[in-house]
Amino acid sequence: MTRRRRIYEGKAKVLFEGPEPGTLVQYFKDDATAFNNQKKGVITGKGVLNNRISEYLMSRLSEIGVPTHFMRRLNMREQLVREVEIIPIEVVVRNVAAGSLSRRFGIPEGTPLPRSIIEYYYKSDELNDPMVSEEHITAFGWAGPQDLDDMVALSLRVNDYLSGLFLGIGLKLVDFKLEFGRLWENEEMRIVLADEISPDNCRLWDVKTNEKLDKDRFRQDLGRVEEAYQEVARRLGILPEGGPSDVKGPKTIQ
């Protein structure tokens, strides 16, 4: 086995040097953290499921013209992606009040928001990912005004598309976090969607029962965490039941 150069180890994934220049291998771990690393645990099988869920969602988004870093899945836990220069801003899109928004403003969880709300957080573990405004982002040079415009436009497209996709399988997309990066191709720079889209960074509630099917089960010790991730993959039609080739499309709920 050839040894690959490990580029970065984060809380949920490891990045390795890819086979060609400008590519990376993202390895999805079962490790879970919450509250900026204060709570740590393992969700058995999470890496396998998030690898597949992110592959599926990024592929669908790419089909509707949202540029992403995703190239192809390599195996159960790894995918090949384009290496990008990560913009150190997390973009959060919210449709329904939950988590820190409910806490900060005293709005009960589950309250539908009058319109989708976008928030920005500066990616910094030392500073605890503080919330920032557009002014901070452009003044400190984390992203330019045009980059921000692109990130917002893409985030809203992702929200519209994924809200519909999840509703079709009986799930409410309450909120989610995206990361973007800069990709250069022949002297031209494009902003593309990077990182992952999975129940680690989306809140997904069952439409009928409001049951949480995402990382909040881990954060709040609700139990049946593995099962929740599996249920999302099952409803998307991508749960590997009979091995990796056994992949169906989503089953729409009427």
Binding site for ligand ATP (CB under 6 A): 8, 10-13, 15, 24, 69, 81-84, 86, 123, 125, 179, 181, 194-195
Which single residue brings its beta carbon nearest to ligand ATP?
10
- Beta carbon of residue 144, minimum distance to ligand ATP (angstroms, whole number): 19
CB of 97 to ligand ATP, least distance (A): 24
Q: Which residue's CB is nearer to ligand ATP, number 14 or number 97? A: 14
Min dist CB 34 to ligand ATP, Å, is 11
Give the residue with the Cβ less far from ligand ATP, 13 or 235. Answer: 13
C-beta of 42 vs 207, nearer to ligand ATP: 42
Record the tokens describing residue 18, joined without a space: 């890819």
Least Å distance between CB 178 and ligand ATP? Answer: 11
The residue among 84 and 202 lying less far from ligand ATP, judged by its C-beta, is 84
Task: For ligand ATP, give the closer residue by CB, 169 or 200.
Answer: 200
Sign of the dihedral defined by the CA atoms of residues 158, 164, 165, 169, in that order: positive
Phi, psi of 205 (to 5 degrees): -115, 140
User: CB of 238: closest distance to ligand ATP in angstroms?
Assistant: 21
Report yes or no: 26 and 15 within 8 Å, Cβ to Cβ.
yes
d(CA 175, CA 164): 13
Exposure of 87 by Cβ count < 10 A (0-12 exposed, 13-18 middle, 19+ buried)?
A: buried
Contacts of 162 by beta carbon, 8 Å cutoff, 6+ apart? 57, 61, 173, 176, 197, 202
